[in-house]
Amino acid sequence: NAGVMQNPRHLVRRRGQEARLRCSPMKGHSHVYWYRQLPEEGLKFMVYLQKENIIDESGMPKERFSAEFPKEGPSILRIQQVVRGDSAAYFCASSPGLSTEAFFGQGTRLTVV
């Protein structure tokens, strides 16, 4: 059973481009969470999704950021018109249900130049 898979591991984008981050949860896990870790800061919750539903997006910036978890395929975190301040490590976690152990991916390190 492979762990949570995130790709790419490293992503470089120029200001104004779009960044697409992918997360494949562990087999059997229907809950996906995205977190952002800014340099020298802790992990901050962004969004919680179940298949085809956004459950809680209270941590998502109101503009340029969106997330989806389609019926088939990985969860996608999309950042439009990236700015330098979006440079961070983005982590995805999955769990089989509420209040269960969450398993994290290795993260995608986004650098905006």
The residues of the shown chain that bind another protein, judged by CB under 8 A, are 6, 31, 33, 35, 41-45, 48, 55-56, 58-59, 91, 93, 95, 98-99, 101-107, 109
Q: Judged by CB, which is closer to another protein: 8, or 16? A: 8
| Cβ 81 to another protein shortest distance, Å | 27
| Cβ 16 to another protein shortest distance, Å | 27
d(CA 28, CA 90): 22
Q: Judged by CB, which is closer to another protein: 17, or 53? A: 53
Q: Judged by CB, which is closer to another protein: 64, or 109? A: 109
Q: Judged by CB, which is closer to another protein: 4, or 19? A: 4
| Cβ 86 to another protein shortest distance, Å | 18
**Cα Dmax for the chain:** 39
| Cβ 72 to another protein shortest distance, Å | 22
45 CB contacts (<8 Å, ≥6 apart)?
33, 35, 58, 59
Q: H-type helices in 35-94, by residue range?
A: none
d(CA 106, CA 3): 9
DSSP string, 14-28: -TT--EEEEEEPPTT
